[in-house]
Every structure is written in C-alpha cells, then in structure tokens.
Structure 1
C-alpha cells in the first residue's frame, strides 16, 4: 500500500473509528443504565432523559398539557374518558413518565398504579388561581427523584381536577453515564492508538527494519540475502530496487571473481607457454656457444629452431595484446574492400608452406564467383585463419594430417570452412569452445600449450565483422570450423 493511501486511511480511522465506537458505547451504556433503573414499571427509550432530564421533561409535559387543554376547551367530557387518558399516557410511557388525574382528593386515573400509590399523597393541592391564570406548577420530590408538573382544571360538573405528569429523574444515571462514557472514550482512544500503531508498525517500520538488515548483509558481503516479495507501493518498490541491486552486485562480483580466476589462469598459461620456447632458445644458443653446432647444417637447424621459437613467443604476446583489446573493446580495425579469391589465395599459399614443413596436407577449394568482395580487416581476418589452423595443427593426432579449406558462396555472404582430421571434440564441449580459457581436457592441453583464448579471439573478430561462427565435430574423426561474412554490395 502506498504511503499516501496509508495516511488517508490513518486520518479517516482516527476520526471515524472513535466516533463509531463512542456512539456504540453510548447506546450500550445508556441502555444498560436504563435497564438497571427500571422501577415501578417505568421504562425509558429517550436518551435525552439521561442527558438533561429536567428540560426533556418540561418539553414533554408542555406537549401533553397543550393536548389536554384542547380537550378541555373543545370536548370537556374527553378528560373523563379512560381511553383518551390511556392514549395520552401511552405517548410518554417509554420516557420514564406517566400521568395521574385527580378528582377532588381522589385518584381518578393513572398510567402506573404502583408508582401512583407511592406518590399520590405527596402531590400538591388544587389551586384555583392556577386555573384562572392557566399556570402550570412544577415541583421536584427529591426523596423519590420525581419531577411533577401540575395543571389544574374543572370537570364538567364543577369538580376540582388536577392533571399531573410524573417523570422519574435520576441524576445518578446522568453522572454515571458521563463517567462511564469518559472511561469508554479513553479505552476507545487507547484501542485506536494501539491498532494504528500496530498497523503502521507492521506496514512501515517492520519492512524498513527488514530492509536495514538486508543492507547490513550487503555491507558485510553477503549477497545471498533475499527480501520477501512485496505488493505495490513505496515499500514494494524499495524491495524490488534492493533485489535488483543485489542481483547486479552479485553478478558483478561473480564476474570479478571469474575474471580474476581467468587472469590467473592466463598468467599461468602464458608463463608456461613462454617458458617452453625460452628454454628451447636458451638451449640452442648454449649449443651454438659450446660449439655443438659444428657443421653448417646443424648451425642452420639451430638458428631455424631459435627463429621458430621466437615466432611462437611473438604469437603468444600478440594473443595477449588482442585479449587485452577484447576486454577493453578496443581491438584496432582497418577495414578495406577485399577480393575474396585473391585474399584467400594468398593466405593459402602462405599457410601451405608452414603446413608442408609439418607433414600436413592442405586442400583448398574456392567456389565463390570471381570478383566477389567483402569488407574486412586483412590482418585481423588472417589472425582468424591462423588461429583456427594453428588449433587444428595442435590437435591432429594422425600420422598423415589433413586440413581442408573451402570458400562457399551463400547468396549475400560467403562461408569459410576449415576442416581437419584431428581427434575431434565431444558434443558436450562444442558449445563452450569459444569461451575464454575453456579447454576440453586440461590435462592433455597443458602438454600442447596455448593460452586458451585463441578461439575466443576468433569469435570476437568474426562478430566484429558482422559475421558469426560455429563448429561441428566428431570424436576421433575431426573438427570443422564454419564462419560467415557478408558480401560487399554497391548501393543502387
């Protein structure tokens, strides 16, 4: 829930909940007090009688006296009709009141016989001046907690008559009502405060404390601590932002750990691969210095070997440089329009000499239409071919090695296939061979040398040319590398 909605609900709750509960308490407490005060058949369903009994009684009596005066003025015989008097009494019976009609000094009619017997002897006497002046007499019988209002009149035969409205007024009820209501309101306010405090605590403070604990875990390096899912609202957004931050930090940390591991592996691989040619160069140089190469043939062999080992070192250093360029995404490219047939013809001629010295047969076929052009960096594309062929040479385990290079025409692109008859790659390893530092068999590859980044460099260069690369292989039969580069087309 949003904070704005929560504040509106809190505001309405502070106003409405105490009001509703106070009204409920008033009804319940008033009803209980009224039921507790039922005496002599008196009932009260008018809460005004509890709050201001004197004023309520006066207003009620004035209404009754007005009705009686109309009966006396227009139909005097009605005051002697018990049905009429019962109807008048019925109007006030539920307001802790009843009527008494006195004729001469005797009880003529009453709406409550039991209560009338108690109070009749205490009623004030008939006064003729009240009849002449149309006055109403009010007295309060304190010992019986009764408010008496009297109207004097004459019956049709001239008998003296008095009409009384008797109301039970118990101030104790009013005081108890206010005391009980004050206690009830205090309880209601305490309950409302506790309810809102608990609601806000569960809805705001508890989630914030959870978020604080989560941030402490992040500060301590625990990136596995997760927060429970939350609904919409500011708290939910905070939780989702925390989770996004945690996942990104975890991903960044994992990448950092992996990069450190890979860098250590690279240093180890490069150190191993540099140490091998350096040891060889050192050995052959010592041989020359010691006079072991005492014939022109031996001298030529030693120098050629030293040259080849120096080239291996140069290749490794170049790979390291390219690897650094991959990480910073700053491999230098110099793109040109290249004629496919001429370019690959020159490459094959250069590569063929090297393979021939290693007793590996090279087969080349070009099925691309003459004059076909591509946009590429000649040096980087040559690196791709050399890395793939170098990889093939490294893992050819047959006495007679073979490498087939095919250039195929595919409408708007060319496909280059470089296939060898080496030991092949297992199906489970094929999807991973272009990952940096991945080796299908570390124990065997360590003997072969290599930094483990050759094919990742190939993939990066091909993709930077707008192409893509993949491999197919069968174990013990050989591997074929495929890469595709789009043709250059003149704009119409």
Structure 2
C-alpha cells in the first residue's frame, strides 16, 4: 500500500520559537554581564543568534518529530489497512495528533456501526435460513410420508391410494408455491422482473379480487366491501397483474387473520392530483406493536407456534413490499392488537378520475 505523508509544522514552529527565545535571552543576559558597554554588538549578535538557533531547532525538531511520530502512526495506519477501510487508509498520514485522533475516532465509530449492521444481517440470515428450512420441510415430509405409506403396501387399496396421492399432490403444490414466491422476490430484488406498465381501473380490479376471494371469505363469514358505496373509479398507471397480486395477498391476509363474521374494507383515496392511496382494513386480530417493523420480512410470522395453521408461503407481505417499491411507491401498515389492521399503498394516477357506482 502506497502511503501519502502529510506534514504538519505547527509543533516544530512553536517549539523552535520557544527554544530560540529562551536561548537568545539567556545568551544576551550572559553577554550583558561580561560585556556591559557593547550594546550594538549585543543586538547584532542576538539577531544572528536567534535566527540561527531558530532554524537549527526547527529542522532538528521537525525531523525528530516526523521520524518519532511517523513510525508509530504508520504502524496504526498499517494495522487499520488490514480492515480494508476506505475511510482512513486512503487519507494521507498526518503527524498532527488532533487531526489523527479525529480521524481514528470517526473510523472507530464507522466500524462500530458496520459491525452492528453485520450482526443484524447475520441474525436475519440465520432466521431466514431457519424459516426456509421449516417452510420446505413440512410439505416435503408430508409428501414423503404418503409416498412411503403407499410403497409399504397401501398402494393395493384403491381408495387409500387415491386419497394419499391427492394429499401428496397438495404437498407438492405447496412446495411449488413457496419456490415460485421465492423466485419472484429474488427477481424483484435483483431488478430482473420487468413490469408491464399499462393504464387500468383500480376499482374494477379490486372488485375482481373480491369476486375471486368471495368463497374464501364466506368460509369465515367475512364480508368484503368498499368503504364507500359511491367510490371513485380511478385509472392507474402500473402493472395490473402485479397490483392484483398485491391486492390478493393483502385481502387474503385480512381473511386469514380476521375474526369470524368480521369485515374487510378496501378504500380508494385521492391523495393528490397524481397519487391515489389504496387502503385494506379489517377488524381482526391485529398485530402487537413490537412485531409491526418486521411484518414485511420474508417468512416472518407473528405467530411463533410453528403450526402454520393458516397456510401460505410466509412470503406474501414481502412480495407486496417489493412489488410496490418496484413501482417506486410506498406501502404502510397500522395495527392495534385485538382491534384490527390497515395496510395501505400509493399508486400513480394515469388519467382524471370519474365517479362510478359500485355494485
């Protein structure tokens, strides 16, 4: 590593001045004691002496300080370079202690933050791998169990064979579902998933999602409705299929964690001339405050029981976040435990909204 050396003369200048003043004053006092009547010669001698001693002191001090400090400071920089720091080793080495202390303190603070971030990422990585393992293990063991039972002799019974094959098929479908969701998130994060941007009516799309999920909601007697009967129809600019996926994921979540006989409402709010806010609210379980910041993490579940009684891949909210961010928009969540939750996101308008009646 090539090291740039930045000199500082402050210490040598001051020290040389002190030495020169002391040395010259002391010599002049001695000369005055021994040569009282030669004032003119004393002044000339004093001027020459102070200049000479100052230059000599400055050179000696600067050389000695540079050699003394540089060797020690260079060792610090060399040790720091092992950490491949771009914040310190690329700076010229300085012999100014105040500057050096400030740089090292800043470097130490930056490194502390970097280490903390690495620890958080490592914890997230461990949790993520554990969750992936759990999500894949359950359907894999299910399929393995049914197939093994069939191979052990149950295949001879036609009814059992058909029933077990259907159950094994469901396990395979769940595996495919999880893998497809993981693949989508990977593409969204890497920017490989292209969005097909078109103009579409967001109110009609929400109504279509209601129709698709009506049977699922009926099982828990949950009503799907708009906040207002005379909701405005708004033409949106975005990827219709991806926005439908966002709506499906959020509404399915509200059904899963909603109470029997509950209500899921979707609101379409005009924020500005260019933006619209879509709100999905329910009166279900709600989420405790400490869990809200982590809701959009992959495989993160508020329910730690491990039963996964409500199914799903555990990737729904992570996909929602990535799709909305791919549209360069924001997603929000508000929730109160025991009362309900509201998820919302913004979208860009394409055309002026017109009023329409919702059936």
Whether TM exceeds 0.5 here: the answer is yes
Q: Which residue of 2 aligns with 1:261?
A: 123
Q: Which residue of 1 aligns with 2:91?
A: none
Q: 1:469 aligns with which of 317, 321, 331?
A: 331
Report the CA distance between 1:27 and its aligned residue: 3.1
Q: Which residue of 1 aligns with 2:281?
A: 419
Q: 1:309 aligns with which of 128, 148, 171?
A: 171
Greater RCO structure (CA 8 Å; 6+ sep): 2
Q: Decide whether the 8 Å contact of 1:419 with 1:478 is kept in 2.
A: yes
> CA-to-partner distance for each residue in 1:246-273, whole Å, 9 max, x for gaps?
5555555544444343333223212211
Cα distance in 1 between the residues matched to 2:120 and 2:25: 69
Q: Which residue of 2 aligns with 1:46?
A: 38
Q: 2:232 aligns with which of 334, 355, 369?
A: 369
Aligned length: 327
Report the CA distance between 1:368 and its aligned residue: 3.5
Q: Decide whether the 8 Å contact of 1:374 with 1:486 is kept in 2.
A: yes
Cα distance in 2 between the residues matched to 1:469 and 1:305: 37
Cα distance in 1 between the residues matched to 2:349 and 2:319: 22
Q: 1:409 aligns with which of 269, 273, 284?
A: 269
> CA-to-partner distance for each residue in 1:3-36, whole Å, 9 max, x for gaps?
46549938x948x964x556534432233225xx
Corresponding position: 1:290 with 2:151: no
Q: 2:305 aligns with which of 431, 444, 466?
A: 444
Q: 1:335 to 1:204 in 2, by over 3 A?
A: farther
Q: Which residue of 2 aligns with 1:219?
A: 82
Q: 1:255 to 1:394 in 2, by over 3 A?
A: farther
TM-score, normalized by length of structure 1? 0.53
Gapped runs of 5+ residues in structure 2? 1-5, 89-93, 353-359
Q: Which residue of 1 aligns with 2:28?
A: 27
Q: 1:257 to 1:5 in 2, by over 3 A?
A: same
> CA-to-partner distance for each residue in 1:361-390, whole Å, 9 max, x for gaps?
2412265434x2111212322332233234
> CA-to-partner distance for each residue in 1:411-433, whole Å, 9 max, x for gaps?
53333332334322112332442
Report the CA distance between 1:461 and its aligned residue: 1.8
Cα distance in 2 between the residues matched to 1:244 and 1:329: 34
Q: Which residue of 2 aligns with 1:276?
A: 138
> CA-to-partner distance for each residue in 1:35-54, whole Å, 9 max, x for gaps?
xxxxxxxxx5235799xxxx
Corresponding position: 1:328 with 2:190: yes
